[in-house]
């Protein structure tokens, strides 16, 4: 009898420990999803929220897409939101029918093996960086420091982006590191 009770307690304890480990692992696995949902839940006037993610070791949210209330067929696409929570910056890839593109040349982390000198690389991007310190802020006649600003000024942004440069003659901004980033818009094909 004593032996059965011990065995039963051991089995029950093992189940509890395995269940706790499963909950901890699941909580960590979906951490970015919960973070993105939390940030987007604070925005007023949005609906049709879609998170796009991929699996690595954990699930990583690569972009969020949502509509603006009162604007039929509206869409805003933003890249991952981890920077938004820490520094207030965020990457916008699409507003309405306009997809945002960037390109340039700068140091992206690679160094020459022999000399240790930084190597500049060409890059292309599918978003522009907005937020309180964005070099793009001066291109707008209204505040674009937060996601709520983008939602609140959706209609004005559509008008503004209508006049933005196209690929054949891109515009440019100077980034914090002194390099030039070129930008343009294209019409989304969906």
What are 158's two structure tokens? 């559509």
Q: What is the mean pLDDT of residues 141-149?
A: 93
What are 92's two structure tokens? 């916008």
Higher-pLDDT residue of 150, 82? 150
Per-residue pLDDT tens digits for 98-136: 999 999 998 888 898 899 888 888 999 999 999 998 999
Q: What is the mean pLDDT of residues 132-151?
A: 93
Q: In whole angstroms, what is the distance from residue 188 CA to residue 97 CA?
A: 5
With a cut of 80, say whether residue 56 has pLDDT above it. Answer: no
Give the residue extent of every domain in the chain: 2-187
pLDDT above 70: percentage of residues in the chain: 86
Instruction: Categorize the per-residue pLDDT at 52 as very low, low, confident or very high, splitting at 50, 70 and 90.
Output: confident
pLDDT above 90: percentage of residues in the chain: 54
Instruction: Categorize the per-residue pLDDT at 54 as very low, low, confident or very high, splitting at 50, 70 and 90.
Output: confident
With a cut of 70, say whether residue 27 has pLDDT above it. Answer: no
Higher-pLDDT residue of 56, 105? 105
Q: What is the mean pLDDT of the chain?
A: 86
Q: What is the mean pLDDT of residues 155-172?
A: 97
Q: In whole angstroms, what is the distance from residue 28 CA to residue 178 CA?
A: 38
Q: What is the pLDDT, as a whole number, of residue 53? A: 81
Q: What is the mean pLDDT of residues 138-155?
A: 95
List beta partners, residue 77.
65, 94
Q: Mind spelling out the 3-state secondary structure of 59-105? A: EEEEEEEEEECCCCCCCEEEECCHHHHHHCCEEEEEECCEEEEEEEE
């Amino acid at each position: 009898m004593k032996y059965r009770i011990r065995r039963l307690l051991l089995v029950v304890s093992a189940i509890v420990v395995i269940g706790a480990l499963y909950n901890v692992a699941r909580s960590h696995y979906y951490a970015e999803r919960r973070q993105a949902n939390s940030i987007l839940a604070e925005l007023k006037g949005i609906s049709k929220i879609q998170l796009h993610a991929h699996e690595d070791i954990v699930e990583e949210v690569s972009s969020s897409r949502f509509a603006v209330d009162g604007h039929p067929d509206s869409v805003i696409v933003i890249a991952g939101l981890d920077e938004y929570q820490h520094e207030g910056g965020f990457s916008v890839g699409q507003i309405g029918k306009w997809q945002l593109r960037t390109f340039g040349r700068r140091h992206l982390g690679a160094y020459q093996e022999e000399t240790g000198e930084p190597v500049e690389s060409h890059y292309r991007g599918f978003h522009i960086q907005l937020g309180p310190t964005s070099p793009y802020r001066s291109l707008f006649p209204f505040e674009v420091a937060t996601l709520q600003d983008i939602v609140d000024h959706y209609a004005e942004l559509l008008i503004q982006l209508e006049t933005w440069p196209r690929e054949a003659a891109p515009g440019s901004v100077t980034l914090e590191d002194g390099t030039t980033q070129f930008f343009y818009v294209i019409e989304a094909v969906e």
